[in-house]
Amino acid sequence: MVKNWFGREAKTFTTYRDLLAMEGLDAVMIASPDFHHTTHLEAAAKAGKHIYVEKPLATEMDKLVRAYDAVKKAGTVVQVGTQLRSLPSIMGAREVVKSGLIGKLSRVEECRNGEKPYWYSYHPRVSEAKAEDIDWKQFLGDRPKRPFDARQFVAWYGYYEFCQGPIPQWGAHFLDMAHFITSCSIPESCVCTGGIFTWKDENKFTVPDCVQADWIYPEGFLLTSSNNFGNGFGESRKFFGDKGVLKAENWNAPTYSPEGGPRRDGKIRGQNAVTPIPQPDHFLNWLQCIRTGETPHASIDAGFQHAVAVLMAVRSYETGRKIVYHAPSRSLKNA
């Protein structure tokens, strides 16, 4: 595409350090494996670049804090790749909740399933990965050194030390969407459990294929994110209030109704389509904010919020303990 558009080959780099040292570079997009996000984010911020960074923002709390602080110090425009909050439909859903139509929230939930874990879709390309073509040390970063493994390189989504599973991956999108719609703060506590129950085979993947996390928010509601790759049935995405329910199974066409609301007051009649609020595309919004200096839809603060929630779930899954967020020290602690 670069050659078609600009008449020259795209420049390639083995290390992000060389890319950031290139003259005339204004902005970067970070779409590396999850465990590299904070390393690349911190380095790009210190280099004074505008940044689009994919989710989840972090896999370790201390690295999240360092990267966040680097961005704040740099003052550059950062857009996190949680693009649902830029959808006109989600903008509209936010207004429905803000209006009080569905009342006081008690529970927000997502159940997003599949017949097979998404990391298996990368497996057919394992034979294409050759040691002589890859800087394996650069890929491993600060992870323990080991001989080249084509399966780990190609299907890194399935290995816990590189990717912590569906809650940070898929759940980060829902968490950020819920944070945006509800205008809530960082959760108080989290409990997460799961395991590998269905897909045990020669790949020896270490990411859970069935997992559920529950967060409690200071605003007084429970948020649940769950995934099951042992059966693809049961998609659900709902915001339960005491006057009605907002349904976002299809986040491009959410609806709301008075169903189930113990304090429904007649202001909602039947099923109603959420009125979309036109917005620029998520990536375009980032580019526009680079030009204007405005804050993008998914700012570094929004990214920090979803990342803290994700890491609370990760710590709970790993320890079997309830985890709380300690705001003064920006750290996670056992309840």
pLDDT at 299 over 90: yes
Backbone Cα Rg of the chain: 21
Distance, CA of 312 to CA of 84 (rounded, Å): 22
Residue-number span of the structural domain to which 50 is assigned: 2-83+288-300
Predicted confidence at residue 271, as pLDDT, reads 97
Predicted confidence at residue 320, as pLDDT, reads 98
Contact 85, 298 (CB under 8 A): yes
In the chain, % of residues over pLDDT 70: 100
Helix axes 37-46, 61-74, angle to 10 degrees: 20
Whether residue 102 sits in one domain with residue 39: no
**Residues 212-266: tens digit of each pLDDT:** 999 999 999 999 999 999 999 999 999 999 999 999 999 999 999 999 999 999 9
Predicted confidence at residue 14, as pLDDT, reads 92
Helix (H, G, I), strand (E, B) or coil at 324: strand
Contact 56, 34 (CB under 8 A): yes
Going by C-alpha positions, the residue among 299, 312, 103 that lies closest to residue 225 is: 312
Tell me, yes or no, whether 283 lies in a domain.
no
* Mean per-residue pLDDT of the chain: 97
pLDDT at 291 over 90: yes
CATH number of the domain enclosing 91? 3.30.360.10
pLDDT at 316 over 90: yes
Going by C-alpha positions, the residue among 217, 259, 254 that lies closest to residue 241 is: 259
Whether residue 215 sits in one domain with residue 138: yes
Residue 179, phi then psi, degrees to nearest 5 = -60, -40
Whether residue 77 sits in one domain with residue 212: no
Distance, CA of 100 to CA of 182 (rounded, Å): 11
Whether residue 57 sits in one domain with residue 96: no
Distance, CA of 335 to CA of 25 (rounded, Å): 45
Predicted confidence at residue 8, as pLDDT, reads 95
Whether residue 112 sits in one domain with residue 218: yes
Predicted confidence at residue 123, as pLDDT, reads 85
Q: Do β-strands 50-53 and 331-334 pair in parallel, antiparallel, or remain unpaired? A: unpaired
Whether residue 79 sits in one domain with residue 33: yes
Distance, CA of 168 to CA of 315 (rounded, Å): 12
Q: Do β-strands 50-53 and 27-30 pair in parallel, antiparallel, or remain unpaired? A: parallel
Whether residue 41 sits in one domain with residue 137: no
**Residues 121-172: tens digit of each pLDDT:** 998 899 999 999 999 999 999 999 999 999 999 999 999 999 999 999 999 9
Whether residue 107 sits in one domain with residue 63: no
Domain count, the chain: 2
Whether residue 146 sits in one domain with residue 64: no
Predicted confidence at residue 270, as pLDDT, reads 97
Distance, CA of 249 to CA of 236 (rounded, Å): 5
pLDDT at 115 over 90: yes
Predicted confidence at residue 289, as pLDDT, reads 98
**Residues 60-109: tens digit of each pLDDT:** 999 999 999 999 999 999 999 999 999 999 999 999 999 999 999 999 99
Would you state the torsion angle of the CA atoms of residues 112, 114, 118, 119, taken in this order, to the nearest 10 degrees?
110
Whether residue 294 sits in one domain with residue 255: no
pLDDT at 281 over 90: yes
Helix axes 300-319, 172-182, angle to 10 degrees: 130
Contact 196, 209 (CB under 8 A): yes
Going by C-alpha positions, the residue among 141, 119, 165, 137 that lies closest to residue 63 is: 141
Whether residue 68 sits in one domain with residue 161: no
Q: Residue type at 59?
A: T
Whether residue 313 sits in one domain with residue 241: yes
* Sequence-ordered alpha helix ranges (H) in the chain: 2-6, 16-20, 37-46, 61-74, 88-99, 136-140, 150-154, 166, 172-182, 282-292, 300-319
- Tokens matching residue 210: 């069935």
Beta-carbon count within 10 A of 75 CB: 10
Predicted confidence at residue 236, as pLDDT, reads 95
Mean pLDDT of 289-305: 98
| DSSP structure class, residue 170 | I
Tell me, yes or no, whether 59 lies in a domain.
yes
Tell me, yes or no, whether 53 lies in a domain.
yes
Q: Kindly report the length of the chain.
A: 335
Contact 28, 20 (CB under 8 A): yes
User: DSSP string spanning 106-157?
Assistant: EEEEEE---SS-GGGGGGGGGGG--GGG--HHHHHTTSPP-S--HHHHHTGG
